[in-house]
Structure 1
Amino acid sequence: MASGTVSSQKQHSTLLHLFAGGFAGTFGAICTSPLEVLKTRLQSSRLAIPDPPTWWWFYYRRRKITSTSRLPEVVKVLKLILEKEGVKTLFRGFGPNLIGVAPSRAVYFACYSKAKDHLNGIFMPNSYTVHIISAGSAGFVTNTLMNPLWMIKSRMQLGLQEKGSKGINTVQCARYIYQENGISGFYRGLTASYFGIFETVICFTIYERLKKWLTETPLTLSANGTNKNSASANFFKYMAAAAIARMLASFVGYPHEVLRTRLREEGNKYRSFTQTVYLIAQEEGLLGFYRGLCAQLIWQVPNTGIVLSTYELIVLLLKDFND
Structure 2
Amino acid sequence: MSETKTKSFTGSPHTDQAVAGFGAGLVSTTFLHPLDVIKIRFQVDASKRSEKRPFIGGTIKAFRDIINNEGVFRGLYRGVAPNIAGATASWGLYFWWYSLIKKQMKKDDQGKLSAMQHLLASLQGGALTAIMTNPFWVIKTRMCTTTRYTSDAYTGLWNGLSRLAKEEGIRGLYRGMVPALFGTSHGAIQFMAYEEMKKWRNDALKRRGESPEDEHNAKLSNSEYLLMAASSKVVATVTTYPYQVLRSRLQDRQTRDAYKGVIDCMSKIRAAEGYIGFYKGLAPGIVRVLPGTCITFLVYENLTQYFKNHAT
Settle same-fold status: TM greater than 0.5: yes
Alpha-carbon separation, structure 2, partners of 1:11 and 1:141: 23
Give the counterpart letter for 1:279 in structure 2.
Answer: K
User: What is the CA-CA distance between 1:93 and the residue it aligns to?
Assistant: 1.1
CA shift in 2, pair 1:136/1:11, >3 Å? farther
Alpha-carbon separation, structure 2, partners of 1:34 and 1:262: 19
CA shift in 2, pair 1:118/1:11, >3 Å? farther
CA shift in 2, pair 1:122/1:11, >3 Å? farther
Spell out the pairing of 1:86-101 with structure 2 (5 A cutoff).
86-88=71-73, 89-101=75-87
Alpha-carbon separation, structure 2, partners of 1:47 and 1:211: 42
CA shift in 2, pair 1:260/1:230, >3 Å? same
CA shift in 2, pair 1:48/1:169, >3 Å? farther
Alpha-carbon separation, structure 2, partners of 1:249 and 1:264: 22
Residue 274 of structure 1 pairs with residue 263 of structure 2: yes
Once the two structures are superposed, what CA deviation does each residue of 1:68-117 show, in whole Å capped at 9, x if it has no partner? xxx72111211211121111211111112222322221110011112122
User: What is the CA-CA distance between 1:27 and the residue it aligns to?
Assistant: 1.1
Alignment partner of 1:168: what SS? coil
Q: What is the RMSD of the two structures over their aligned residues, measured on CA atoms?
A: 2.8
135-144 or 179-188, larger mean C-alpha shift: 179-188
Once the two structures are superposed, what CA deviation does each residue of 1:194-249 show, in whole Å capped at 9, x if it has no partner? 1111121111111112223344423569xxxxxxx995x62221121011100111
- The corresponding residue for 2:214 is none
- The corresponding residue for 2:38 is 38
Give the counterpart letter for 2:124 in structure 1.
Answer: S
126-135 or 10-19, larger mean C-alpha shift: 10-19
Sequence identity, in percent? 28
Structure 2 residues not aligned, in runs of 5+: 212-216
205-214 or 26-35, larger mean C-alpha shift: 205-214
- Maintained 8 Å contact 2:28/2:296: yes
- Maintained 8 Å contact 2:237/2:286: yes
- Count residues in correspondence: 297
Structure 2 counterpart of 1:317, from 284, 289, 306: 306
User: What is the CA-CA distance between 1:309 and the residue it aligns to?
Assistant: 2.2
131-140 or 102-111, larger mean C-alpha shift: 102-111
User: What is the CA-CA distance between 1:2 and the residue it aligns to?
Assistant: 2.7
- The corresponding residue for 1:6 is 5
Alignment partner of 2:12: what SS? helix
Structure 1 residues not aligned, in runs of 5+: 58-70, 222-228
Residue 27 of structure 1 pairs with residue 27 of structure 2: yes
Alpha-carbon separation, structure 2, partners of 1:240 and 1:177: 40
TM-score, normalised by the number of residues in structure 2: 0.86
- The corresponding residue for 1:68 is none
Alpha-carbon separation, structure 2, partners of 1:112 and 1:168: 34
CA shift in 2, pair 1:303/1:180, >3 Å? same
- Maintained 8 Å contact 1:191/1:273: yes
- The corresponding residue for 1:80 is 65
- The corresponding residue for 2:285 is 296
CA shift in 2, pair 1:320/1:292, >3 Å? same
TM-score, normalised by the number of residues in structure 1: 0.83
Residue 287 of structure 1 pairs with residue 281 of structure 2: no
- The corresponding residue for 1:115 is 101
199-208 or 253-262, larger mean C-alpha shift: 199-208
Alpha-carbon separation, structure 2, partners of 1:125 and 1:220: 19
CA shift in 2, pair 1:13/1:133, >3 Å? same
40-49 or 245-254, larger mean C-alpha shift: 40-49
